[in-house]
Amino acid sequence: MTNKNGIIGLTIVIALISVYYLSFTFVSRSFKSKATAYATDSKGEVNVSKKQHYIDSLWREDVYLGHTLQEVTERELNLGLDLQGGMHVVLEVAPADILKGMAGGNSRSAAFQTALKKAGEDKSASNSGFINRFASAYKEAAPNSSLAALFATSANRGKISSSSSDADVIKMLNTEVNGSIDRAFQITQARIDKFGVTNPNIQRLPGQNRILVELPGVDNPERVRRLLSGAAKLEFAEVYLTNELGAGLEGLGKYLTQQAEIEKATKKPGTAATVAKTDTSKKSTTGGLAEQLAQKADADSTQSDSSKVAAQTAALTSLFVPMPQGLGVYLKDTARAGEILRRPEVRSMFPADLVFMWDRKGTEAGGNQLILPLYFIKKQNGEAAMEGDVIVDATHDYDDRGRPEVTMRMNGEGARKWRSLTARSVGRPVAIIIDNLVYTAPTVQGEIPNGNSSITGSFTVEETKDMSNVLKAGKLPAPTHIVEEAVVGSTLGSEAISDGLWSSAIGLLIVLVFMVAYYNKAGWIADIALLINLFFLLGVMASLGAVLTLSGIAGIVLSIGMAVDANVLIYESIKVEIESGKPFAQAIRDGFKNSLSAIIDSNVTTLLTGIILYTFGTGLVLGFATTLVLGLLTSLFSAIFITRLLLENQIKNGKVFNFYTGLTKNWFKDNHFDFVSQRRRFYLISGVIIAIGIGSFIFKGFGLGIDFKGGRSYVIRFAENVDADQLRTNMDQTLGSATEVKTFGGQDQVKVTTAYLIDETTPDADQKAQAKVLEAAGKIPNNKATVVSSNKVGPTMAKDTLWSAVYAVLLALAANFIYILIRFKRVAFSYGAVMSLAHDVVIILAIFSLFNGWLPWSLDIDQAFIGAILTMIGYSMNDTVVIYDRIRDYLADDKSRGQSLSVVINNALNSTLSRTAVTGISVILVLIVLMIFGGAVIRGFTFCMLLGVIVGTYSSLFVAAPIVVDLLQREKKKEPALAVVDPAAPVAGKKVKA
C-alpha cells in the first residue's frame, strides 16, 4: 500500500477533528442536564425560568477550552425539529404588494388591477416569474400603454423615466423585488433575534421570493406567526439624554435598593446562592441579581444618608451600565431589567412620553460579556415623530473622506417633518427604529431642509448596506405570508429520538452480525471499519454544523447498509484471487486493485443522486440527503483505506484467515443461471405490472400529499383508540368539505388532511383552522384529542415543490445517463441503465397507486416519496454499474473471445450474484428495521426505499443487462464482420474474477 504513513496520518487527523467537534455536543448536553437538575424541585417538576436563568448566567462565560457556553451550544451536533420539537416556516414576500407600492396612485387604474389579478391567478408558475406575468397581462389589458407610464413616478426618479422601455422597467421591478426580499430577510432575522430562540436557522431560498425559518424548541406557534407576518414598522423618534432624567434615575436607584432590602428580609436562610461565576470585573458576588442587591442593601443599612445616595447609585449601576446614549444592561440581565422597567411604580418615575427600547444588537464588553444598549425614546401619545412610509429611497455610499455612509431621500411630506425634527434635535440623537428595536441613533449635525440626508459614523460597508435596506423597508409595503409551515410538538420529538436511536442501534447490530456470519474473521475487520465510518460521519456532521434529523438517522443507517457494498466488492474480489492460488498478501493487494473501479463507479452514481437530493430537497428529504452524501464519502474512505490498513496489519503479524464460514463457503459458487435467454419472460412480467399500474394511474390515481396539492395536515393523538371513519364524518361536517383521515402510527393517533382556509393569509387563519379541527375531534365522546404536530403548504408552494420534484427526477436520470456513457463509452449501457431506472420508477408508482388506502401507513406521493425514489435510483444505479463493470471486464477478457455475447454476459451476471445478494440482504435488513422501529413519520418513506431495493436489484439483473444484450446485438447486425450472436447458446461455466 503506497503512502501508508500518509493514510495513517490523515486517519489520525480526521479522528482528532471528530473527537474535538463531537466533544462540544457532550459538554453542551452536560450543562443542559445541570441546568435541569438545578431547576428541578423536590416533586420532580422543572422550573423553566430557573433553568433558563442558569443557562443565561453562563451564556457568555468560558466553560470549555476557552469557549463560552453560547459558542459550545452553537457547535454541538444540532437536532432537527422532528427530534426536539419546534416550528418550520417558509415566508413569501408578496410581489403584488411591492408593485402596488411602486406604482403609487397609478395602482388604482383598471388595467393595473386586471393585470395584477391575472398574474396572481396563474398558480401553475412560481412567484419568481410574477413580474414577467404581470407585464404580459398588462400589455393585454392596455395594449397602447407602456409600463413606464405606470411606474415612472417621483418615488422611482433616477431609476426609470417616462421614456424607459418595458425591458428597463421590468429589470427595475425585478431589482426592487429582490431588494425587498433582502430587506424582509434582514427584518425577519432581527425579529427572530428578538424572539430569543437557541440556534435558529434563517435562510433566503435561492432564486425564490421566500425565506426559510426553523425555530427549534418553540412551543408557541401563534406567537411566531404574529411575529413573522406583516410589514415592518419603521419609525424616527427623538431620544432623551441621561442628564435630562436625573430625578427618574435617582428614583430608580432608590427603588432597587428598597427592593433588595425587602428581598433580603424575606429570604430564607440557607438558600443556595451560587448559580455560576460572573464577571469578576463587576466585583459582584456569585449569586443572582437579587442577592447582589441584597448584599448592597445590607451594607447601606449602616451608612449615613450621603452614603446611601452612593449606595443607591451602586445599586443602579449593578444592573445598568452607563453608556454614551444612556444606559446598557448585560445580556444575561435583560429579562430582569425589562421586568423592572415595566412595573407601574417605575414607569411613574419617568416622563409620560418616554418609552424604553433596546438596541437591535449588543456591544462587546470585557470578560466575554455582551451589553445591550437601552434607549429612552420620546413618543407623544405612543406615536413617533415620523414613520418610514415617507422614505423614497436609501442607498449605501461613501462620504468625502471615503468612509461608508447611508444616504436617504424623503417625499414632500417627509421633508417637512424631517426639517422640523432635525431643527429641534441639533446636537442630539434621532433614533431609527424598526419593530420597536433601535437600529441606530445618529446625532443631528444641523437642520436638514430638503429631506435628503446622510448618516455617517464608524460603520462597515456591510452595516451601511444593512441600514439602507432597513430604511427602504418603510418605503414599500411588502408583508410576508406563511406559505409553508410545520409544527412538531416536543412529545412527538422525544418519541422520534427514541425511535431513531432504537432503529439505528438494531439496524447497525444486524449488519455487524451478518458480516461476521458471512465472512468470518474478515467480517470483524469490516465491522471495525463500519464503526469507524459511523464515528467519522458524526464527527464530520458536527464540524460542518449539519443538523441531525429523524430522516438523517435513516440516512445514517442506510449509508451503513450501503457501506457494506464496498467491503463486499473487496472481499469477493479477494476470494477470487485466493481461489486462483495466489499467496494471501498478494490476493489482498490484487483484490483491492481489481475492485476499485466498481467501487468508485457505483458510489459516484449514488453520490450524484444524493447531491441532486440535497440541491432540490427540503425538510425530511434534505436531512436524509445530507447524511447520505456524507455517509457515502466517509464509507468510501473507511472501506478503501481503513479496511486495507487493518488487513495489512494482519498480514504483518503473519496471520492468514478465510473470507467465509463453513456455512457460506459454497454460497453463490459456480452459478449457471441463464439470465439472457429468459429476458423476454421478464420483459413480459414487467410489462404486465406496468400495464396494471397505468390502469391504476388512470382510474384510481394517486394519494397526493399536501407537499404537492397544498392544504393543512394535523397529527392528532387521542387518549384512547379512535374510529377513523367516525372522525372523518365529524371533520367533513364541521369543516364543510371533504377531509382525509388516516390512522398514523397507532389506533390512538390519526393524520387529518384538509384544504380548510388554505387560501387565507391572515395571521389568525392557522389558529382558526386548528380550532375547527379540534372542535370536530372533540365530538368523539370521552376521548381527549391533542394536536402533536401540524403542517401547512400553500397552493403556490405546492406547485413549485411539484415541479422541483419533477426536475430532480429528470436531472438524476440525465446525470446518470451521461456518467454511464462517459465511463463505459457505449450508448447501449446508458440506454439500458436509464430504461431500467424508468422501469423501477413506474413500478414503484404502480404499487403506490394500487395499494393506497390498503396498507396501514401513508402511500401519499410527497417530497418524502420523491426522496425515496431518488435514493432508489441511486441504489439501482449502484447495482447496475457493478454489473456493467463486470460485463465490460468480461467483454475485454481474452478468454471470452469466440464466445457468444449471451454466454459472456451470463457469465458476468453470475459472477456478481454473491455481491448482489450480500449487499441487497444487508440493505433490506436495515430497511425492515427502519420500517418496524423508525416511527410513523418515515414509514412510508422507508417502505418506498425497501420496494426500490427489491425492484432495483431485479431490474439490474433482468432488465438493464438484457437491454444491453439486445442493443449490442443490433450493433453487431450492422457490422457484418463481427460474429453473429446466438441468444439461445448454452451458458459456459467458468470461475471469474470479482
Residue 39 to residue 33: CA distance in whole angstroms: 10
Q: Flag whether pLDDT at 422 surpasses 50.
A: yes
pLDDT at 158 (0 to 100): 76
Q: Which phi and psi (to 5°) does residue 91 adopt? A: -95, 145
Average pLDDT over residues 165-191: 81
Q: What are the tens digits of pLDDT across the range 92-110?
A: 877 887 788 788 778 888 8
Average pLDDT over residues 944-954: 86
Q: Flag whether pLDDT at 474 surpasses 80.
A: no
Q: What are the tens digits of pLDDT across the range 262-321?
A: 766 665 444 333 333 333 333 333 333 334 333 433 444 444 455 555 555 555 667 788
Residue 381 to residue 764: CA distance in whole angstroms: 28
Looking at the chain, which residues constitute the CATH 3.30.70.3400 domain(s)? 711-793
CB half-sphere exposure, 262, CA atoms < 13 A: 6
Residue 700 to residue 741: CA distance in whole angstroms: 18
CB half-sphere exposure, 959, CA atoms < 13 A: 26
Q: Flag whether pLDDT at 983 surpasses 60.
A: no
Helix axes 827-850, 939-955, angle to 10 degrees: 140
pLDDT at 494 (0 to 100): 62
pLDDT at 762 (0 to 100): 67
Q: Which phi and psi (to 5°) does residue 990 adopt? A: -160, 155
- Quickly tell me which residue has 440506454 as its cell: 831
Q: Flag whether pLDDT at 895 surpasses 90.
A: no
pLDDT at 376 (0 to 100): 92
Residue 387 to residue 39: CA distance in whole angstroms: 44
Q: Using DSSP, how many helices (H) and how many strands (E) does the chain show?
A: 34, 24
Q: Enumerate the β-bridge partners of residue 452.
A: 409
Secondary-structure breakdown of the chain: helix, strand, coil percentages, each rounded to the nearest 5: 60, 15, 25
Mean per-residue pLDDT over the chain, rounded: 78
Contact 448, 419 (CB under 8 A): yes
Q: Flag whether pLDDT at 445 surpasses 90.
A: no
Residue 666 to residue 867: CA distance in whole angstroms: 38
Q: Flag whether pLDDT at 560 surpasses 80.
A: no
Instruction: Give Cβ neighbours of residue 802 (< 8 Å, ≥ 6 apart).
Output: 707, 708
Widest CA span in the chain: 118
Model confidence at 649, pLDDT cuts 50, 70, 90, reads: confident
Which ranges in 483-618 belong to alpha helices (H)? Answer: 490-519, 521-544, 550-579, 584-616
Q: Which of 149-158, 583-592, 757-766 has the lowest mean pLDDT?
A: 757-766
pLDDT at 855 (0 to 100): 77
Contact 480, 228 (CB under 8 A): yes
Q: Flag whether pLDDT at 818 surpasses 50.
A: yes
Higher-confidence position of 754 and 624? 754
Which ranges in 275-378 belong to alpha helices (H)? Answer: 289-300, 305-319, 334-341, 344-347
Q: Flag whether pLDDT at 416 surpasses 80.
A: yes
Q: Enumerate the β-bridge partners of residue 238.
A: 378, 430
Between vectors from CA 836 to CA 830 and to CA 839, what angle results, nearest 5°? 140
Residue 284 to residue 513: CA distance in whole angstroms: 59
Q: Flag whether pLDDT at 759 surpasses 70.
A: yes
Higher-confidence position of 441 and 659? 441
pLDDT at 286 (0 to 100): 33
Residue 127 to residue 805: CA distance in whole angstroms: 17
pLDDT at 209 (0 to 100): 73
Average pLDDT over residues 930-949: 78
Q: Which phi and psi (to 5°) does residue 301 adopt? A: -65, -15
Q: Flag whether pLDDT at 350 surpasses 90.
A: yes
Average pLDDT over residues 436-443: 84
Contact 523, 511 (CB under 8 A): no
Model confidence at 984, pLDDT cuts 50, 70, 90, reads: very low
Contact 64, 16 (CB under 8 A): no
Residue 319 to residue 340: CA distance in whole angstroms: 11
The CA distances from residue 248 to 241, 243, 306, 341, 384, in Å, are: 12, 10, 18, 11, 22
Model confidence at 238, pLDDT cuts 50, 70, 90, reads: very high
Nearest Cα residue to 632 out of 944, 916, 878: 878
Question: Can you read off the three cell numbers belonging to residue 551?
Answer: 430522516
Q: What are the tens digits of pLDDT across the range 834-857?
A: 888 889 888 988 988 888 878 777
For residue 785, the surrounding DSSP H or E stretch is strand 785-793
Question: What's at 752, amino acid-wise?
Answer: V
**What letter would DSSP give residue 429?**
B
pLDDT at 311 (0 to 100): 54
Q: What are the tens digits of pLDDT across the range 116-164?
A: 888 877 644 455 578 888 888 888 888 888 888 888 887 677 788 888 8
Q: What are the tens digits of pLDDT across the range 194-211?
A: 565 666 777 777 666 778
Average pLDDT over residues 682-708: 85
Higher-confidence position of 54 and 558? 54
Model confidence at 476, pLDDT cuts 50, 70, 90, reads: very low
Question: Can you read off the three cell numbers belonging to residue 713?
Answer: 395536515
Residue 814 to residue 106: CA distance in whole angstroms: 48
**Cβ atoms within 10 Å of 826's Cβ, excluding its own:** 18
Between vectors from CA 850 to CA 710 and to CA 744, what angle results, nearest 5°? 55
Q: Flag whether pLDDT at 471 surpasses 50.
A: yes
Model confidence at 616, pLDDT cuts 50, 70, 90, reads: confident
pLDDT at 303 (0 to 100): 45
**Cβ atoms within 10 Å of 980's Cβ, excluding its own:** 10
Residue 885 to residue 823: CA distance in whole angstroms: 9
Strands 749-754, 711-718: pairing is antiparallel
Q: Which of 19-23, 185-189, 376-380 has the lowest mean pLDDT?
A: 185-189
Average pLDDT over residues 785-794: 79
Nearest Cα residue to 837 out of 816, 855, 859: 816
Q: What are the tens digits of pLDDT across the range 479-537?
A: 677 777 777 765 555 666 666 677 777 878 888 888 888 888 888 888 898 889 889 98
pLDDT at 975 (0 to 100): 57
State the sign of the Cα–Cα–Cα–Cα dihedral 372, 376, 377, 380.
Answer: positive
Nearest Cα residue to 464 out of 432, 506, 493: 432
Share of the chain above pLDDT 90, in %: 4
Residue 639 to residue 829: CA distance in whole angstroms: 27
What is 711-793's CATH number, 3.30.70.3400, 3.30.420.40, 3.40.50.300, 3.40.50.10260?
3.30.70.3400
Residue 666 to residue 673: CA distance in whole angstroms: 16
Q: Is 314 helix (H, G, I), strand (E, B) or coil?
A: helix
